[in-house]
Amino acid sequence: MPPPGAISPSYIYACTRFRVRRTTLLPREDYLRIMGMSIPEIVTYLGRRDYYGQEIVDLAHDFAGAQLIEEAVNRNLAQSFRHAMAIAPGDLRTLTGEYLNRWDIANVMAILRGTVHDVPRRQVRDLLIPAGEIDGALLTRLLDFTTCEEILEALQDWRLYPILAEYYRICGEQGAFARIENELYRQYYAGLLDLGASGCSGCQELNAYLRFEIDITNMRNLLRLHCAEEACDVRVIDQTMIPGGRIPIDLFRRLYGIETEGEFVSAFLATDIAPVLAQAVRELRQDPNISSFDAAELIWQRWHQRRRPVHEIERGVTRIRLHQLESLSRRHPFSVLPVLAYLERKKYEIANLRAIARGKAFGLPSERIWQYIVL
Partner 1 sequence: MPVDDIKPTRSGLLLVKRRMALAERIHRLLKMKLDGMMLELVKLTEQTARERRMLEEQYSRAREMVAVAAMMEGATGVLLAALSVETSPAYTAGHRNVFGVRLPELEPVMVKKTLDQRGYGILGTSSVIDDAADAYEDLLEAIIASAELEGGVKRLLDDIERTRRRVNALEFRIIPDLEETRRFIEDRRDEMERQEWTRLRRIKKIKAKRAGRL
Residues that bind partner 1 (CB under 8 A): 66-67, 70, 74, 105-106, 109-110, 113-114, 117, 119, 124, 126-127, 129, 174-175, 177-182, 185-186, 217, 220-221, 223-225, 227-230, 232, 236, 240, 242, 308-309, 311, 314-315, 351, 354-355, 358-359, 362, 364, 369, 372
The nearest distance, CB 308 to partner 1, in angstroms, is: 4
Angstrom distance (rounded) from CA 179 to CA 206: 27
State the minimum distance, in angstroms, from the CB of residue 99 to partner 1: 16
| b/e code 126-152 from CB counts within 10 Å (16+ = b) | eebbbbbbbeeebbeebbeeeebeebb
Q: How far is the CB of 93 from partner 1 (least distance, A)?
A: 25
3-class DSSP string for 292-314: HHHHHHHHHHHHHCCCCCCHHHH
Which residue lies nearer to partner 1 by CB, 311 or 330?
311
Instruction: In angstroms, give the least distance from the CB of 64 to partner 1.
Output: 13
- Minimal distance, residue 278 CB to partner 1, in Å: 20
CB-wise, 92 or 281, nearer to partner 1?
281
CA gap 341, 343 in Å, rounded: 6
DSSP helix, strand, coil percent of the chain (3-state; round to 5):
75, 0, 25
Q: What are phi and psi of 37, to 5 degrees?
A: -95, 160
Least CB distance from residue 342 to partner 1, whole Å?
20
Residues 6 or more apart whose Cβ sits within 8 Å of residue 219: 247, 252, 271, 273
Kindly tell me which of 339 and 350 has the beta carbon lying closer to partner 1: 350
Report the phi/psi class of residue 364: left, alpha or beta, with left for phi > 0 and alpha for psi in -120 to 50.
beta
Judged by beta carbon, residue 165 or residue 178, the one nearer partner 1 is: 178
Q: Are 170 and 176 in contact (CB under 8 A)?
A: yes
- Gap between the Cα atoms of 335 and 12, Å rounded: 8
In order, the DSSP letters of 144-176 are H--SHHHHHHHTTTSTTHHHHHHHGGGTTSTTH
The least CB distance from residue 204 to partner 1, in Å, is: 25
Pick 26 or 337: Cβ nearer partner 1: 26
Alpha carbon distance 164, 175 (integer Å): 15
Looking at beta carbons only, is 290 or 353 nearer to partner 1?
353
Q: Compare residues 74 and 207 and give the one whose CB is closer to partner 1.
A: 74
Q: Looking at beta carbons only, is 91 or 104 nearer to partner 1?
A: 104
- Name the minimum Å distance from CB 333 to partner 1: 31
Contact criterion met (CB below 8 Å) for 195 and 203? yes
Closest CA to 354 of 50, 23, 108, 129: 129
Which lies closer to partner 1 via its Cβ, residue 11 or residue 189? Answer: 189
Min. distance of Cβ 269 from partner 1 in angstroms? Answer: 22
In order of 160, 167, 184, 256, 314, the CA distances from 163 in angstroms are 6, 6, 7, 28, 30
